[in-house]
Structures are given as structure tokens and as C-alpha cells.
């Protein structure tokens, strides 16, 4: 028996139900479906190794009483780190994360999956105390928290 998997943008792959081999482009389809899946898994692994607790769902209630959702939140009992993951970083993204950081009091980081970071967004993030990370330096967020 053959089934079809359909990803976003109409990409289709096939797999045999009898075989135990996963579709070759399943990981790519999952990435299209959920932005930053690999980065979220990386964050979970790093947090676990450093004995940080992962909040599920990744929401925090701010001083205002508003519940704020991030892509990933971890805490070690004293400090909390919140992460948002984006494909490209704009000033609007920075302001949204900063607003949630200000209300919740967490240290916030933005993981940008590409090099598409507007220079004004980078400067604004720095001014607001937000760390802009690439997927290859996620661990640095945990070691330089503060």
C-alpha cells in the first residue's frame, strides 16, 4: 500500500506503509509546517543538559496580567529565558518581543533562521537588550544569561 504525504506548497512525497523508512523529505515538510522545529529541539536538549525546566506551553503571565506566548521558554528556578524564532528579523518583530519581555521580566532572545536581519532591527534589539542568535550559537544564550 502506498500513501501520499503532502507538504506545504503542494510538495508531495510517497512512502510504502510496509517499509520502516521515513519519507526523505519529511523533515523538510515538518520545517515548513512548524517554523524552527530543529531549533526548538536543540533548545530542549540544551535546557535539559543544563538542568533548566522547559515550560509547556511556553507562556508567561506578565505584570499586566496578560498571558504572553513565546516559541520556547526555560527556567532554572532563578532566571527565565524566552525565545522567539523567525525566518527574517524586522523592527516589528523586535518591538513585539521587547513588549513581552518588558511585561514578563524574562531575558528574551530571538533566533533568526537566516541572515535576513534588517540592520535597524539589529540595532533596535541591541538597544532593548534582546539577544539575536543564529541557530549555530543557541547555547550562548544560556551561558550569557543576565
Domain ranges for the chain, please list them: 2-33, 37-143
Show Cβ contacts of residue 57 under 8 Å, excluding neighbours closer than 6 positions.
69
Rounded to an integer, the average pLDDT of 106-111 is 92
| DSSP assigned state of 87 | S
- Tell whether the model's pLDDT for residue 117 goes beyond 80: yes
Cis, peptide link before residue 57, omega less than 30° from 0: yes
Name the nearest CA neighbour of 89 among 60, 64, 66, 110: 110
Phi and psi, residue 136, nearest 5°: -85, -5
Phi and psi, residue 114, nearest 5°: -125, 180
More confident residue, 113 or 10: 113
Distance linking the first and last C-alpha atoms of the chain: 55
Q: How far is CA 76 from the centre of its chain?
A: 18
Burial class (CB in 10 A: 0-12, 13-18, 19+), 87: exposed
Task: Find where cell 539589529 sits.
Answer: 122
Query: Which pLDDT tens digit goes with each residue over 25-75?
Result: 544 444 444 667 888 889 999 999 999 999 999 999 999 999 999 999 999
pLDDT confidence tier of residue 18, bands split at 50, 70 and 90: very low
Domain 37-143 CATH assignment equals 3.40.1350.10: yes
Amino acid at each position: 500500500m502506498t500513501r501520499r504525504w503532502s507538504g506545504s506548497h503542494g510538495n508531495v512525497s510517497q512512502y510504502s506503509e510496509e517499509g520502516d523508512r521515513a519519507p526523505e523529505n519529511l523533515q523538510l515538510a515538518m520545517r515548513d509546517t512548524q517554523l524552527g522545529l530543529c531549533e526548538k529541539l536543540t533548545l530542549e536538549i540544551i535546557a535539559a543538559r543544563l538542568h533548566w525546566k522547559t515550560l509547556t506551553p511556553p507562556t508567561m503571565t506578565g505584570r499586566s496580567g496578560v498571558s504572553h506566548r513565546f516559541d520556547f521558554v526555560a527556567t532554572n528556578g532563578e532566571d527565565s529565558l524566552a525565545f522567539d524564532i523567525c525566518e527574517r528579523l524586522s523592527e516589528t518583530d523586535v518591538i513585539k518581543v521587547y513588549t513581552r519581555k518588558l511585561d514578563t521580566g524574562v531575558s528574551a532572545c530571538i533566533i533568526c533562521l537566516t541572515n535576513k536581519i534588517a540592520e535597524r532591527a539589529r540595532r533596535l534589539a541591541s538597544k532593548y537588550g534582546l539577544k539575536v542568535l543564529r541557530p549555530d550559537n543557541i547555547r550562548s544564550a544560556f551561558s550569557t544569561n543576565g
